[in-house]
Amino acid sequence: MICLIYSDYNQTEMKRKTKPASNDHLKLSQIIKDVHKNLREDAKRLGTQKAWINHCKQEESLLRYAQAMKELATRHWEKNYNNNCKAKSRIKWIYEYCRLYFFDGELLRQRRREIEIARKIVANESCERYLLGSFIDSSEENLFDVKSELEEKMYSESNAKCLKLLDVGSCYNPFNEFPCLDVLAVDIAPASSDVKWCDFLEVNIINKKPDLSQHPIKELQDCSFHIVVFSLLLEYLPSPEQRLNCCLNAYKVLQHEGILLIITPDSKHVGSNAKIMLTWRFILSEIGFSRIKYEKLPYLHCMAFRKSININIAKRWAQLQDNEKFYKNMYIPQDLNNKEMKKL
């Protein structure tokens, strides 16, 4: 089940502080909102699984959605970002963080941080040493001998296609413009010919290299990507279970020390949905992701999660938290009304 992308940009679209939205802008936004609303209503009426299957078969509606999303992103959002110095393009944010992580030393800094956490786990005997697997060597002097699928060399931005990026819910393949990225763009409603049809929630993850020239894509290789991008994706999915399954699949296809980059819309101030964002961090920590970057932009939450060398390293943060501070599932604001919010 997987793939599209974008979400309720209701308030994002209507509250621009530049000039009022054009009629074309409003019309395109309404197409997006209607699709999101209909999918959520169908999920309540039919159940998530059946609603999603039916949704993926609505080719005409999905094509209209994809075209509207592409126009919004390329003709309106990017233009507004360029005209507003306080705003930043989601594409620019993702690319800049990839550069920082792989080319400017952040990967090695995070690796050293995890090694220190491993030391604490062993010292506190909160985890048997063998559970750390090959993360650390038995001798102290070899503690930094990290076993990872990633090579020890630093990546160079000058090397073409040196980073494999999976863009889930890509729409129009916006990352294809960056020479250092080897992009596989997938969606259930491709808006351009270089985006492959794929339902990421239902994709088979295998331990050998699949034929990615096929259409649709039904298989992906495990531990094969440096980067997975969920840009305006998770809020598109109608249930918390689907969002978690999406993240689990991202974990499977990422190399150790690879990163999952999540962009989700929110026009409110940083504290309004803080519990939701902390819950995402908590739940993803339990499956092996460490959140290493968070930034609230005017209309977006931007997050980077690292697939830890060992799952127990990532889990440690969750184990130190009070479970009562978090929701039980990966909710989005649309899932919760005020009455429900008080219960959860």
14 within a domain of the structure (yes/no): no
143 within a domain of the structure (yes/no): no
Span 82-136, pLDDT tens digits: 555 444 689 999 999 999 999 999 999 999 999 899 888 877 755 555 555 545 5
Residue list for the binding site for S-adenosyl-L-methionine: 169, 187
Span 244-258, pLDDT tens digits: 999 999 999 999 999
Residue 221, φ and ψ in degrees, nearest 5:
-85, 140
Q: Which residues contact 222 (CB under 8 A, 6 or more apart)?
A: 205, 206, 207, 252, 253
242 within a domain of the structure (yes/no): yes
pLDDT of residue 133: 54
pLDDT of residue 202: 96
- Please tell me what DSSP assigns to residue 3: -
Span 9-24, pLDDT tens digits: 444 443 444 455 578 7
DSSP string, 120-153: HHHHHTSS-GGGGGGGS-SSGGGTT----SS-SS
11 within a domain of the structure (yes/no): no
Least confident of 32-46, 130-144, 156-170, 319-333: 130-144
167 within a domain of the structure (yes/no): yes
Q: Cα(311)–Cα(334) distance, rounded to whole angstroms?
A: 31
Phi/psi region, residue 178 (left: phi>0; alpha: psi -120 to 50; beta: rest), is beta
What value does the mean pLDDT of the chain take?
84
CATH number of the domain within which 165 lies: 3.40.50.150
pLDDT of residue 15: 43
244 within a domain of the structure (yes/no): yes
138 within a domain of the structure (yes/no): no
Q: Which of 231, 229, 225 is nearest to 254 (CA)?
A: 225
Residue type, 336: L
73 within a domain of the structure (yes/no): no
pLDDT of residue 137: 46
- Domain ranges, residue 335: 89-107+149-343
Residue list for the binding site: 169, 187
Domain count across the chain: 1
